[in-house]
Amino acid sequence: MATPVTTVPDRPATTAPGAPGAVPRLRAGRRRHTPGGPRRSVLLTLLTGLILLYSLLPLVWLVISATKSQSGLAHSFGLWFDGHFALWDNIGQTFTYHDGVFVRWLLNTLLYVVLGAGGATLLAVLGGYALAKFSFPGKRAVFAVVIGAVAVPGTALAVPTFLMFSNMGLTNTPWAVIIPSLISPFGLYLMWVFASEAIPTELMEAARIDGAGEARTFFTVALPLLAPGIVTVLLFSMVATWNNYFLPLIMIKDPDWYPLTLGLNSWNAQAETAGGQPVFHLVVTGSLITILPLIAAFLLLQKYWQSGLAAGSVKE
């Protein structure tokens, strides 16, 4: 609250196109932000910087550590390189250790993401569109159920799900991970909100008047408009499925069906085993490889994802 009002920096930030003098001095007790030149605060910048540093530090550590051998990890300072650059060696070992089981885990994770997150997105898009643009009896009840489902943490359902799947004979199969991943109440809700804002009802009416059937209206009119929302939901479900640890942990016992998260953890646990061999360097390198596809997905889909988040926030 005690933010000083005279903290206008001398130079305008390159991103703020307003003239230097355009930032008005605030009168006592009044705070106003002009759209062209938002007021900058040293304190906020500092805080953001700190948080940025805080979030990047583990990543930096990871990248640096992946270049070290097992003994290098033990003998050198964590945030700087060891004399011996072992990254390529580590990557090679990660892919070949234990008969190349890492590749298998990578493929499993991809399978879970493609089927689980892909399916979740598909269901969310279809459901969200239907809920936003059609009215039918019981719609309010569906709304209540979806909102309620958003509030239930997945972990709370894990054990009941386990028992149910066990009765159905599905535990220890990939289905035990894929089927629960298909359900994404938050994705459905997001799609619903997005669809009701992004597709003008008038446009659908026009399409209908022109003689398009419901399917055609959906595919040719609605779907392109929904693209940013779809990407957003897809990214959410991808990240959730890619990082999923607890569900596979209780569902899957066969290391051949492990996703990367479980597999890397089992390598880590080797160090705690009597007679086991610590392979921290492989765990670190494997972790780095594991996050690369996610980073790639974010960078490639970034523009859709940003417009997706902002969509519907402004009334035009």
Partner 1 sequence: MLKHSRRLLRGIGLVSALALGATACGGSDDGGPSHKAVSEADIQAALKKGGTLTVWAWEPTLKQVAADFEKAHPKVRVDLVNAGTGNNQYKALQNAIAAKKGVPDVAQIEYYAMGQYALTKELTDLEAYGADQLAGKFTPGPWNGVRAGGDGVYGLPMDSGPMALFYNKKVFDKYRIKVPTTWDQYVDAARTLHKANPKAYITNDAGDAGFTTSMLWQAGSRPYTVDGTKVKIDFSDAGARKYSGTWQKLLDDKLVSPVTSWSDEWYKGLDDGTIATLAIGAWMPANLASGAKSASGDWRVAPLPQWTAGAKASAENGGSALAMPELGDNEALAYAFLEYADAGKGVQTRVANGAFPATTAELHSKAFQDTAFPYFGGQQANKVFAESAANVADDWSYLPYQVYANSIFNDTVGKAYVSGTRLSAGLKTWQDASVKYGDEQGFTVSTG
Residue number, 186 or 304, with CB nearest to partner 1: 186
Q: How far is the CB of 75 from partner 1 (least distance, A)?
A: 7
Residue number, 29 or 153, with CB nearest to partner 1: 153
Bin 98: left if φ > 0, else alpha if -120 < ψ < 50, else beta: left
CA angle 44, 46, 51 (to 5 degrees): 95
Residue number, 202 or 254, with CB nearest to partner 1: 254
User: Tokens 């008969």 appear where?
Assistant: 99
186, two tokens = 């938050």
Q: How far is the CB of 78 from partner 1 (least distance, A)?
A: 10
Residues that bind partner 1 (CB under 8 A): 70-71, 73-75, 153, 155-156, 158-159, 162-163, 166-167, 169, 171-172, 245-246, 249-250, 253-255, 266, 269-278, 280
Q: How far is the CB of 157 from partner 1 (least distance, A)?
A: 10
Q: How far is the CB of 172 from partner 1 (least distance, A)?
A: 6
Closest CA to 71 of 279, 287, 284: 279
Q: How far is the CB of 312 from partner 1 (least distance, A)?
A: 29
Residue number, 38 or 255, with CB nearest to partner 1: 255
Residue number, 139 or 253, with CB nearest to partner 1: 253
Q: How far is the CB of 163 from partner 1 (least distance, A)?
A: 5
CA quadruple 307, 311, 315, 316: dihedral sign? positive
Q: How far is the CB of 271 from partner 1 (least distance, A)?
A: 6
Residue 198 and residue 226 in contact, taking contact as beta carbons nearer than 8 Å: yes
Residue 180 and residue 153 in contact, taking contact as beta carbons nearer than 8 Å: no
User: Tokens 């569902």 appear where?
Assistant: 251
What span, in angstroms and rounded, lies between the C-alpha atoms of 80 and 60? 9
Residue number, 134 or 246, with CB nearest to partner 1: 246
Closest CA to 175 of 80, 108, 130: 108
Closest CA to 166 of 250, 282, 102, 246: 250
Q: How far is the CB of 111 from partner 1 (least distance, A)?
A: 20
What span, in angstroms and rounded, lies between the C-alpha atoms of 14 and 35? 15
Residue number, 5 or 74, with CB nearest to partner 1: 74
259, two tokens = 């996703």
Residue number, 173 or 307, with CB nearest to partner 1: 173
What span, in angstroms and rounded, lies between the C-alpha atoms of 237 and 235? 6
- Residue 154, exposed/middle/buried by CB under 10 A (0-12, 13-18, 19+)? middle
